[in-house]
Amino acid sequence: CTSVLAEDSKGVLYHARNLDFGLFFGWDKAKKTWLVTEYLRPTIVNIRFKKSGQTVFMSTHFAGYVGILTALKPGRFSLTVNSRNSLDGSSTLGIIEWILGKRDAVWMGFLTRRVMETADSYAQAKQMLTGTKMLAPAYFILGGNSTMQGCIITRSRNAAIDVWERSAAANHTWYLLQTNYDHWKPPFVLDDRRTPGNKCMMAKGQASMGFKEIFNVLSSIPVLNKLTTYTALMRVDTGEYHSYRQTCKDPCPIW
């Protein structure tokens, strides 16, 4: 997955993501595609969660999955989840503990759903996402509704091991880009979507930032790859939310 938080030169914050899934779950030799990825794409739906007739939040789902991977609470905050693999804190122990009856940790999708339903502000969402014990590690990319809000929360099972704030980002404070590797370490050499993603963000520049250019970045190889199922574009202040099924035509990297 690749998630981007970017602010244009007028102070408008955009949040976007590619959701990549299906690696190693079967390869179609004839079509040169990942099987599960291809079967996931037709299940994608956008949901408006409503209460008393009012929209509480919007999200993109694989139908039948009730948790949240991509969502926007208009005027409040936006959230995307990127997967994180960590040998020292994988979900193995958490799942075993759950089965054995120790249930103080939360399944990722249910935590994010609770955040979208109950948190009323960027700060409250951040507190819930950093402070809740989980069954598996993850990256939470959280956008706010005002200038300089936005952070990437690197989670272990027990706690946030890093919160990367936009205000603290070194060379490019106007955007943050997160793939599936800790931002303070180099990405896996065979799966570097960070460098090309950063290259494209810097080439586009802050002045031209908006849905168009973020979509172009997320449609550039290898940010777009054969695991990409959809691209979502969000803007918290106006509540704009768009998502599009994505496919990557050859020549295209397999991840």
Partner 1 sequence: AFVPAQFTQECRSDTYPPPSSSEVEWFDVSLDEAPIIRWRHVVARRQSQIRDLLLQFKNFIRQLTGSSVYFNLVARSLTLIAPTVPQPYQDEMVGISTVTGIPLGEILLYNIFYEATNL
Residues 18-57 that bind partner 1 (CB under 8 A): 25-26, 32, 35-36, 39-40, 42-52, 56
Q: DSSP 3-state assignment of 162? A: strand
Report CA dihedral (64, 231, 167, 169) to the nearest 10 degrees: 110
Q: 36: number of CA atoms within 13 Å, CB side?
A: 9
Eight-class DSSP state of 106: B
CB of 87 to partner 1, least distance (A): 11
Q: Which of 7, 132, 137, 227 binds partner 1 (CB under 8 A)?
A: 137
With CB under 8 A as the contact rule, which of the stretches 3-11, 125-133, 162-170, 237-245 interacts with partner 1?
237-245
Does 212 engage in binding with partner 1 (CB under 8 A)?
yes
Closest to partner 1 by CB, 78 or 246: 246
Does 245 engage in binding with partner 1 (CB under 8 A)?
yes
Distance CA 180, CA 24 (A): 16
Does 222 engage in binding with partner 1 (CB under 8 A)?
yes
Closest to partner 1 by CB, 161 or 165: 161
Closest to partner 1 by CB, 67 or 239: 67
Q: Which of 192, 206, 237, 240 binds partner 1 (CB under 8 A)?
A: 192
CB of 121 to partner 1, least distance (A): 19
Closest to partner 1 by CB, 87 or 168: 87
Q: What residues numbered 146-175 form the site for partner 1, per CB under 8 A? A: none
Among this protein's residues, is 151 annotated catalytic?
no
Q: Which of 193, 227, 228, 235 binds partner 1 (CB under 8 A)?
A: 193
Q: Which of 3, 60, 178, 180 binds partner 1 (CB under 8 A)?
A: 60
* Residue 155 and residue 163 in contact, taking contact as beta carbons nearer than 8 Å: no
Residue type, 177: L
With CB under 8 A as the contact rule, which of the stretches 6-14, 146-154, 158-166, 238-246 interacts with partner 1?
238-246
Give Cα separations from 112 to 69, 116, 175, 193, 247 (angstroms).
7, 6, 23, 25, 27
* Residue/partner pairs of 51-57 with CB below 8 Å, 24 or more apart: 55/239, 56/116, 56/117, 57/116, 57/117
With CB under 8 A as the contact rule, which of the stretches 1-9, 145-153, 160-168, 216-224 interacts with partner 1?
216-224
Distance CA 244, CA 231 (A): 5
The counts of H helices and E strands in the chain are 6, 14
Does 110 engage in binding with partner 1 (CB under 8 A)?
yes
Distance CA 212, CA 190 (A): 28
Give the residue numbers marked as catalytic.
Answer: 1
